[in-house]
Amino acid sequence: MTKKLGVVLGSGAARGWAHVGVLRALEDIGIKPDVVAGCSVGALVGGAWLIGALDDFEAWARELKPLSYLKRFDLKIARGGFVDAEPAFEAFREFDKNIEDLPVRFAAAATDLGTGEEVWITEGSVLDAARTSSAVPVVFHAVRHQDRWLVDGALANPAPVALARHLGADVVISVDLNAVPRVLDRFNPQPPGLPVTQPSTTLPAAPGLSGAVTKLIDDTRRKINQQVGFARARINASPQLFETAYAAADIFQMHLARANAKICPPDLLLRPDMRDAFPTAFDRADEFIEEGRRALLAERATIEALLSD
């Protein structure tokens, strides 16, 4: 019996461009998933791929400039948020299909505001499912779905492996964009042995020393002084508002994804290194797509072995 491959595309806002690279890399090596389970931006990218809109979606992503993505949205305080994402999705409505009509099993994970439970959207419009799954609380409007108010699936399960299993996947590859989080590493304790006092910058006269040796000593002392300066800046620094918010969201999703993975582990976890990626960096599609491609291709042998066992 041929094993069914499931791909889980996790949450991550602008980091989700990495999912484009993952899907492109799968195409490059001739592997087509039988199941796609998406959460938040993962549902958006996975859905775009399945309805044939990924080329247009990728072209749009690569042309974005800082904050230009806001032109796609309407600012309107309603339904628990201040941004209406509907206009952005309407731009791709001509591609839309019903989930039931797709050649690949697909579902999107969302969160029920009324119960806090994870909700799996397995039927209806692909675009509507993606919009619901990516409705970031407070930012985007909540979506009414079958008498429930739903928001971003990342609140319950950033990388829904269980959903892929439910859809029939025998082998599951999970792409977790928060596995390498954007922590504030500048607040880590300084490494042991780093000088804590400022060394003298005056080089005493030393008869017989050549100019090359003197320069070497000066350069070494300069580097030590620089390290001490960085250490002092780190000690005296304090967290800023937005970087703390970004880090907190990353840390929360990292631990939530880890907890869910212990309950229902994937066969392969892809961990693109997105720690340098702000969730709003939608204009960095080129590098994020390439990171996703790299992460998938680095595990090509493992994937082929999993499917052939």
Catalytic residues: 40, 152
Task: Give the largest Cα separation in the chain, rounded.
Answer: 87
Rounded Cα distance, 292 and 47, in Å? 17
SS (H, E, C) 91-103: CCHHHCCEHHHCC
CB atoms within 10 A of CB 295: 20
Q: Cβ neighbours of residue 107 under 8 Å, at least 6 residues apart?
A: 37, 38, 99, 120, 121, 122, 129, 163, 166, 167
Distances 148 to 50, 115, 118, 244 between C-alpha atoms, Å: 26, 9, 12, 32
Amino acid at 246: Y
* Closest residue by Cα to residue 48 from 5, 4, 88, 3: 88
CB atoms within 10 A of CB 199: 10
Q: Cβ neighbours of residue 257 under 8 Å, at least 6 residues apart?
A: 10, 157, 158, 159, 176, 178, 179
* Closest residue by Cα to residue 172 from 266, 107, 105: 266
Rounded Cα distance, 37 and 89, in Å? 19
